[in-house]
Amino acid sequence: MPIYEYRCRECGAVFDAFQSIGADSSGLECPECGALKAEKLFSTFASGAAGASGTAASGSCGPASFG
């Protein structure tokens, strides 16, 4: 089940919710103030593979340099 990020339109708190794909914000209660006024945020995701050093590798959309 995906995790969606929401912001409360009442107090501005940002929180996550596990929801099925296509679910809306109806019935979501703000954990800070209890309001039922959540708006879904557009968020990015991180992806990467562990490199030889054990750190996450990141891709680039720029031109590759071969040397």
Asked if residue 60 is part of any domain, the answer here is: no
Asked if residue 9 is part of any domain, the answer here is: yes
Res 48: pLDDT = 74
Alpha carbon distance 57, 61 (integer Å): 14
Asked if residue 35 is part of any domain, the answer here is: yes
Q: Using one digit for the tens of pLDDT, what is the confidence trace for 4-42?
A: 999 999 999 999 999 998 888 889 999 999 999 999 998
Alpha carbon distance 22, 6 (integer Å): 14
Given a cut of 80, whether residue 57 has pLDDT beyond it is no
Q: What share of the chain is helix, strand, coil (3-state, %, to 5)?
A: 0, 25, 75
7 contacts: CB under 8 Å, gap ≥ 6: 13, 14, 15, 38, 39, 41
pTM for this structure? 0.61
Q: Which domain holds residue 13?
A: 3-40
pLDDT range class, residue 44, cuts 50, 70, 90: confident
Res 64: pLDDT = 58
